[in-house]
Structures are given as C-alpha cells and as structure tokens.
DNA sequence: TATTTATTTAACCACATAGTTAAATATACA
DNA sequence: TGTATATTTAACTATGTGGTTAAATAAATA
C-alpha cells in the first residue's frame, strides 16, 4: 500500500476509466453525472474513481447546489512527468551506444553480471 | 484489472520498490539478488516485482549460467511520458491565464480585467 | 553424484481495488 | 411539507497485489 505522492499519482493513472475522466476534465469542469455518462458503470463506481483521483490530488471538487463540479488539478502530473523524463535517454538511445560499449568492456573480463 | 499497455506501465510505476529497481537498472544490468540487496524484502517478493515490470515491458531478463540478468527496457515509458505531456499546459498555466481571461470575459460580459 | 548458489513456484495471508445494489444525504423546487 | 435530482456511503463480492515461508528448479562445482 504505497502512499507516497508519486505512487498515488501513477496508481491513479493506471486505470483507463480514470484517464478518460481526466481527459474529459481537461476540457473543463463537469459534474459527477456528466463524468459517468460515457461509461457503462454505476455512479458509485465513478465516485470511487474520483476519490482515487482526489487522493492523488489530480481532481478537486467544488459545490454548486446539489452538484459537485469536478476540476482537473494537473500539478501532480508534473512530478510524474519529471520522474519519467529521467529515463528519456534510455529510450532515445542517444547514449545507448555508450552503454553498449561499456557492457562490452565488462563482458571481456568475466562472465558474471556484477554491478 | 486493466490490461492495456499504458495501464500496465503506470501500474508498474506505482510502487516505490519497482521505481527503485528501475533506477538501479538504469545504471546497468543486474542479477535478481543484486536488485534485491537494498531492500528489506524476500527474494520471491523481488521476483514478483520483476514479473510486474516484465509484464509492462519495462524489464527483460537474459540467461547467464544460474543468473538471470535483468535489463531496463525504457520504451514503454515513452508512451507514458507522451500521455502525461498532453496535460503540460494545465500545470504550466501559460495558457491557463488565457483561460481565466476568457472566462472572465464571459462572466463580466464586457468588463476589462487588469493585467 | 552430491552440494552450493541463484531464482522461481506454490500456498498462504492481509489488504486494496473495482464493481455491484440499496440506502442515506444534500439541495432545489412545487 | 413533500418530492425530485445529484451524489455519497454502506455492505457485499471477486480479484489483484505485496508480502511471507517452504519447496522446486537450474546451473556450476567439489
């Protein structure tokens, strides 16, 4: 049960329904019923998804009569993006050739993987 | 149990132990025992974490005698980064001020805001 | 062959998550 | 006041996750 902020953010993003909710909120505020409309799940299920998103700080909820309009709060995504960006060089293989070179050097003086 | 690639990637990142494993592998290949060493958890627990990472395509495992050296495969992070990047303008509020301005125009119906 | 080392699998536990339906709450309105 | 609408909470089920210990598997070595 990881409860740090980054883990909560990634966990919240690890569900397609919640990502769709965020995508909808990126267009503007919406009520819970409006958010639920595209999905074939019950309203309590949507409430639960919203709780996960709120716990991650990705969504805030206001008050307007009996509606509780939901709003995107994108700041936590900044840390998530920052964490992932650290690995950009690994998928852009700019330095991967250096990695390969170092690995080859290692491979020449012994067989075992040893850090 | 979301099984699409993006969900699997985010789910894999939603655990600090797994993020630490990826950080270690960013420095180079490592055996399971080496990966387990910094953590106060059993080897089977590490094996399970590695399975999650492999299912997400973030780690691959080779064979070298009785060792199974693990290697970072960062490509799935590219999609994760891409998804998050869509929301960059929302946390960088470069355009948020324009949003606010437009909203204010609508609300005031002609009043000119400061700035 | 027997032993040691590295890793995985099996079986289990506690708990979180994603969903359900039914009931409770909050607000607007006739 | 009572009713309709919007949302949440409660209670429950099924499943996934993260951990354990004990046993099984794979490969090197004495």
- Would you say residue B98 has pLDDT above 80? no
For tokens 């290692």, what's the residue?
A106
| Structure confidence by residue, pLDDT tens digits, B35-72 | 999 999 999 999 999 999 999 999 999 998 889 999 99
**Span B5-108: which CATH code?**
1.10.10.10
Query: What chain B residue is nearest to A7 in terms of C-alpha separation?
Result: B14
Report the pLDDT value the prediction gives residue B112, as an integer from 0 to 100. Answer: 35
Query: Which tokens is B50 given?
Result: 């590695």
Chain A residues near residue B11 by CB distance under 8 angstroms: 10-11, 14
What's the Å distance between residue A12 CA and nucleotide C16 C1'?
Answer: 13
Say if CB B46 and CB B36 are below 8 A apart.
Answer: yes
CA separation for the pair A6, A105 (Å, rounded): 36
What DSSP state is assigned to residue B59?
Answer: E
Give residue for tokens 């691959």: B60
What confidence score (pLDDT) does residue B92 get?
87
Residue A65 (CA) to nucleotide C15 (C1'), in angstroms, measures: 37
Q: What is the pLDDT of residues A60-84, one digit of tens each?
A: 999 988 899 999 999 999 999 999 9
Side-chain-facing half-sphere of A106: CA atoms under 13 Å: 14
B13–A102 CB contact, under 8 Å: no
3-state class (DSSP) for residue A104 = helix
Give per-residue burial for A57-76: e unless 16+ CB within 10 Å, then b: bbbebeeeeeeebbebbbeb
């Amino acid at each position: 049960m990881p409860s740090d902020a980054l883990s909560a953010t990634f966990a919240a993003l690890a569900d397609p329904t919640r990502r769709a909710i965020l995508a909808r909120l990126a267009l503007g505020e919406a009520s819970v019923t409006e958010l639920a409309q595209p999905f074939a799940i019950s309203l309590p299920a949507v409430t639960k998804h919203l709780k996960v998103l709120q716990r991650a700080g990705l969504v805030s909820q206001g008050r307007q009569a009996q509606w509780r309009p939901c709003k995107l709060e994108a700041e936590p995504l900044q840390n998530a993006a920052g964490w992932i960006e650290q690995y950009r060089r690994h998928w852009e293989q700019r330095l991967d050739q250096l990695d390969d070179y170092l690995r080859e050097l290692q491979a020449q003086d012994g067989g075992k993987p040893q850090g």
